[in-house]
Each structure stands twice: as C-alpha cells, then as structure tokens.
Chain A
Amino acid sequence: MKANPKDVNTGVYYIDGDVSSGYGALAAGCKFVGGYPITPSTEAFEAVCRRGPLVGAMFIQMEDELGSIASVVGASWAGVKSMTITSGPGFSLMMETIGFGAMLETPFVLLNIQRGGPSTGVPTKTGQADMMQSRWGSHGDYELIAISPDSPQEMFDYTIKAFNLAERYRCPVMIMSDECVGHMTEKVVIPPADEIEVEPRRFYDGPINEYLPFKPDEDLVPPMVKAGDGYKLYITGLIHDERGYSIKNEEYKFIYTKRLVDKIRLNKDKIIELKEEETDDAEVVVVSYGISSRVAVRGIEKAREKGIKVGSLRLVTVWPFPDEKIAELAKTIKAFVVPEINYGQIAFEVERCSHGEANVILVPHGGAGVHNPDDICDAIEYAAKEKKRIEGVIEYKTKLEKLVFEEGYKLHE
C-alpha cells in the first residue's frame, strides 16, 4: 500500500534527525503520539505536535513515561498506528509496558534518542548504551525489533520502516537512534507519497464470533481487530490462549512463549537489513551502527590508505541480531572491530556469533562524544597485525582513555 498523500510533506528539507523522524512517523500513517518531553528527543515530539493535527494525527503529552507508553498501547488497540518518543531515563520507565506490548502483540513504534547514562547522565550529549536494554529491558521472554539509523534522511526512511515492521509482525519496534543523529541537521528528501510503501494493519476479516485474537497465521503472526467493533475482545498481560483467556499451565506457557519469540526468530531473514561494504576480501571488518557507523567511515578510509583490507558491516537492524552473517564473516577474516559509545554491548554479541574464529576488538567510548576516527583506524591496524587468536573481547585503549588515565586529566581545568 502507498502512503496517503495527505500525510506526506513531500519536499527537500534541511532538518535534524528528530524532526525527520517525526515527519517519517506521520508519513507512515501514525495517528497517535503519546509522549513526555525528554532531552534530546523533544524536537521529534514537537514536530509531531505541530504537524500532526494538520494531517489528523492526535497527540497527548502525558504526565510521565509510564503513562505515555500505556496510552500508546491503548491507542494501538483502538485501531490507530501509534508511537512514543523518549530517551534514556524515560526508556527505563517504559520497560514494563514495553513487555506488556510485546505480550499483547501490539504494534507500536518507540523512538529512543539515546543519551549518555546511567541515570540522568549527560542529557544533551550522545550515547549508545541502551542497546542491550532495548533487547532485554522488560522482564520475561520476548523478542522485538530494533533499528539504528545514522542520518536524518535515514531517520525519515527507517521510521517508516519501523511502522511497517511493527504492523507486519505485530510487535513493538524500537528506533535506537542517538543524540548525534537526532540533533544532526542535514538535507532530507521526502519523496512523493506514491514512492512510500506503508504496511496497513493486518485486520481480521472472518466472522465476528469466530475471531481469536491470538490465533496465528502461517507466519506465526495473528491478525488483529480493534476495540469498538463488537468483537468483545479480552486482552490480558497474563499468559493467554488463542481466545486471550488467561491460562496457567506449564505446557501452554511453553507454546505461547515459543511463538512469541519464534514469530521474530523464524522471520529473521525478512526483518534484518544490513549494509555491507568491501567484505569479500577483507581481513578486518568494522561492525557498527548508528552514529558510530558515520564516524567509522573516516577510520576505515584512513586504514585503507595504509593498505589494510578492511570491510564494513553496518547493522541497520540491531535486533534480531544477524548471527549467521557474523559467523559467516568470522570464517574468512582475521578480526572484527566494533566501535560503540558504551563499554561493550554489541561487541559481545559479535564475539558470541564469531564462535572463536576471529578476534573481536571493542573500541569503547564513555559517551558525551563520538569516537576519534584515528582510534578506529588504530584498532583496525592492530587487528590486522595481531596474529594470535585472543579469546574474549579485546578492549582497545583509545586516545581519550590514555589521556584521561595515563597522562592525568585535571578535573577542574
């Protein structure tokens, strides 16, 4: 299905990633945004509040993030595409209801403009330390989808994709962006509506009294209905059977949990999007996502100037994780270099999937800034030279770290 021309503000813009994502949401047909202001994501919420009402999208600024995420799940069951927008502390507050959304197989999109943490951290500066939280943050077993755009243009494009995936697989989809991408202002081209593919909600169309809200189709995803249409739905966060009725036995818990995770795991190939460059004859591959992949470009260039064969694998989809791709690459290369603005999250996933066949070098960053491309280049150089196979994740010492811990950083200067 093509986007509704009314929803799309076709044109060429010079806007930041936050605003671009807001426009993307509206272009995807989002009709409800429940939010709570939090730096550095407010521009996205503001953009939807300004433009939303002109295209028939409702918004509400709730009293807290607990409320905003609950309202989003509610609105999705009322039949409209919905979204919430947040950052670190708000993301933490939302965790319980994200699991609830996954449990009820509710399509919605969550935009997380990551900032430095933990706690209040550095609200105005960047971070990428919520990646594992986006996968494991809520209690219990579930799978969901997370994507990580790296430019304002991608914020538009992938917000639409996030909505499409949410509707397609009936699950929450996280856009794990970061402050740098959110506040980066670049040219954004918003195409005409007929060039934008949007996934409509998969509504049930059988007889009203035969509807089972959790009876899956062949792809393990159940079709949906909405409140107010006479279906007399019963929806609960308790483990439930196909009717939605709570059921406590061990066997059923197994059946249900398995479907909830398999729905994503078995459709992995259709969900995952990667951007791969020059990996064919590479000896080192840089695995990156979000803003780190933009910074890595320069690092990779520098390493190539030094004659190192280095490829790049960009994780556009971070969850589900591309296990097979990493395993396949590990067999042909010497090492992976993983720059990320945290102390090792995705690097450990890369190590898990490389099955000991390649070294994994983490280029960490504490946050509140991005990597120095020289560090990435140096890490690549080291990776190419290292002949030994070293177990575990090798933490690369960056220039900043050397400056701080070895040369003595004066706190008050």
Chain B
Amino acid sequence: MSPLKTIDSKIVHPMDNLLRMERIPHIWCPSCGIGLAVTAFTAALEKAKIDLNKVAIVSGIGCTGRVAGYTKLDSFHTTHGRPIAFGTGIKIGNPEIKVVVFSGDGDLIAIGGNHFIHAARRNIDMLVVCVNNFIYAMTGGQVAPTTPLAAYATTSPYGCVEPPFNIPYLADSSGAVYVARWTTLHIRRLTNSITEALNKRGFSVVEVISPCGMYYSRINKLGDGLDMMKFYHDNAEIRHGEDTKNLGIGFQTKIIVGKFVDRERPTYMDSYNKWLSEIKTEEKLRK
C-alpha cells in the first residue's frame, strides 16, 4: 500500500487574502448564518473590483459585531450601536474611503436605531450589511427589535408582545438609496446584491436573514440550522421592487426577499461640497 500523500500546506484558500486567517477559528456557533454572510461579503469585495486598501469595515457589538475582526480590511470593532456614527466620522475624515458597516439587528436597529435613520436621511455614502437573526444572540437569546410577534426569547418567555421593525421599510422611508434583503440561503443573489451596493454611491442597506441555531431556533423549537435553511427554501419568495411596506416578517411566515429600492440622491458629501464651492465663490466675490 502506498503511503498517504502529504498535503501541501501552502494551498491557499481563495478567500485567505480577505480574512485574518490567524484569528480563525471564529467564535460563531455551528448552524449560525453569519459566516455565510461574510462569505458573500468577501466574494462581493472581489467581484466589486474596488481598492481594498480604501475599504473600512466597522462593526458594533454582538455576534455580527465580530465580523470586522475577521476581515482583512481596515477593521473597527466599536461600541454598541455606534458603528454608523463612527463610520460617518471616517467617511467625512477621509471621503476616499468606502465605509462598510457590518453589524446585527440589535446593534443597528435598537441601540443604534437613531444613527441608522439619520445616516439614511443624510445619505452618507456607506454600505450597511445588517445580519438579522431575530434575537440578541451574543448575550444568550434576548428579545430583539426584530423578534417576530409571539416568538419566544429569554426575555419574552411568554411570547414577544412587541411588533418588530421592518428593516427595509425603515431604511426606505428614511431615505436609503439601495435596499435589498436576502436570506443566507440565497448566497449567490446576496453576493450580487452586496457587489452592487458596494459600487452604489449613498446609503445602501442589505438585510441578511440568518439562522441562529443556538438561541432563536432552539427556544422556538424550529430545529437546527439545516431546518432553518429548508424553511428559507420553502418560504422565501423573491419579489424585486416590492413595496417595502409589505416586507414585515411574522413568526414563521413567508419571507419576501429581493431588491426593493435602487435610486439616486445626492450624498452628504455631494451636497456639502456643492454648498462649499458656492460659499467659496461668494468669498471670492466679496474680495
């Protein structure tokens, strides 16, 4: 019998140059969807053909908050709820940088909700990837602003009594120029959406519905990660251009995915610079 072939340790994974391999293994649980969202993101970075030295990724706190720490870009792991505000500072401090905020639903929509709507209103040139797993997972499964009505969480032990936020509707009505939603099952479409959004100027939001096998599925008895993927397969419906009003998600109801908003609006820096060039001319006139 011939000896086993030695494995060439220099084999490089195509995503290695985009990840901090020295930090792997990551902290995410088996069946978690965040890894898939990161896969889609890194694939999109390559497809979008943008200068990776000019991309800053900003995360907040939570499971998705750890994404910045695994991607090999200028990565910032900030305080809870503040990645959009932090990213606004980076963008204005150096407008050449493409800012990507990669964080969870609790971080962006609850504690950071105010920054989310105001950055959308200002149309800060920024891509927000919001991983929505319907729960606060890092802290052990508490109710989130996205937890569907009647779903269980450790702090809604008798079922969630608060209606959840419809993230695409919130983004759309606040002024985002690009809004899409996919589940972690739609990995190719998600990659395409992120690629498109990376090249879009203005406040773009991509919501990623992701399974949380450890908390959300367990406490609601929905099976493991694979069962959640099957659920997405059977219940996700692609409806591009759907009115964002109709995108609310109930407990185990149909999830409408697709690209809903793609429009043009002057960004914050566009307006600022236009206004600035006008006052500068005025200054000259006065002289």
Q: Which DSSP category, helix, strand, loop or mixed, fits chain A's interface?
A: mixed
Q: How far is the CB of A257 from chain B (nearest CB, A)?
A: 18
The digit string for A2-21, where 1 denotes a CB below 8 A from any CB of B, is: 00000000000000000000
Assess whether A54 is interfacial by the CB under 8 Å rule. Answer: yes
- Across the A-B interface, how many residue pairs have beta carbons closer than 8 Å? 138
Residues B90 and A77 in contact, CB atoms below 8 Å apart:
yes
Residues B89 and A34 in contact, CB atoms below 8 Å apart:
yes
Partner-binding segment picked from A63-71, A215-223, A261-269, A304-312: A63-71
The digit string for A67-90, where 1 denotes a CB below 8 A from any CB of B, is: 110111111111110100000000
Within 8 A of B (CB), among A211-268: 226-238, 245-246
* Residue in A32, A53, A76, A236 whose Cβ sees the most chain B Cβ within 10 Å: A236
Given A63-B114, A234-B69, A238-B77, do A80 and B88 touch, yes or no (CB 8 Å)?
no
Residues A71 and B85 in contact, CB atoms below 8 Å apart:
yes
Which listed residue (A32, A53, A70, A230) contacts B82, Cβ 8 A?
A70
Q: Which DSSP category, helix, strand, loop or mixed, fits chain B's interface?
A: helix
Q: How far is the CA of A31 from the CA of B68 in the complex (A)?
A: 26
Q: How far is the CA of A69 from the CA of B223 in the complex (A)?
A: 43
Residues B89 and A32 in contact, CB atoms below 8 Å apart:
yes
Q: How far is the CA of A68 from the CA of B90 in the complex (A)?
A: 12
Assess whether B72 is interfacial by the CB under 8 Å rule. Answer: yes
The digit string for B73-103, where 1 denotes a CB below 8 A from any CB of A, is: 1111111111011111111111011000000
The size bracket of the interface on A is 35 or more
Q: How far is the CB of B169 from chain A (nearest CB, A)?
A: 20
Given A235-B76, A238-B77, do A82 and B89 touch, yes or no (CB 8 Å)?
yes
Q: How far is the CA of A228 from the CA of B91 in the complex (A)?
A: 11
Q: How far is the CB of B282 from chain A (nearest CB, A)?
A: 11
Residues A228 and B85 in contact, CB atoms below 8 Å apart:
no
Assess whether B37 is interfacial by the CB under 8 Å rule. Answer: no
Residues A74 and B79 in contact, CB atoms below 8 Å apart:
no
Residues A233 and B75 in contact, CB atoms below 8 Å apart:
yes
Residues B94 and A228 in contact, CB atoms below 8 Å apart:
yes
By beta carbon, the residue of chain B nearest A72 is: B89
Which listed residue (B54, B88, B93) contacts A67, Cβ 8 A?
B88
Q: How far is the CB of A140 from chain B (nearest CB, A)?
A: 12
* Residue in B84, B88, B283 whose Cβ sees the most chain A Cβ within 10 Å: B88
- Residues of A within 8 Å of B279, CB to CB, are 53-54
- Residues of A within 8 Å of B90, CB to CB, are 74-75, 77-78, 227
Assess whether B144 is interfacial by the CB under 8 Å rule. Answer: no
User: Residues of A at under 8 Å CB distance from B?
Assistant: 31-32, 34, 53-54, 58, 60, 62-64, 66-68, 70-80, 82, 96-97, 100, 226-238, 245-246
Complex A-B: 5 CB contacts under 8 Å: A54-B283, A62-B118, A66-B85, A71-B92, A236-B77
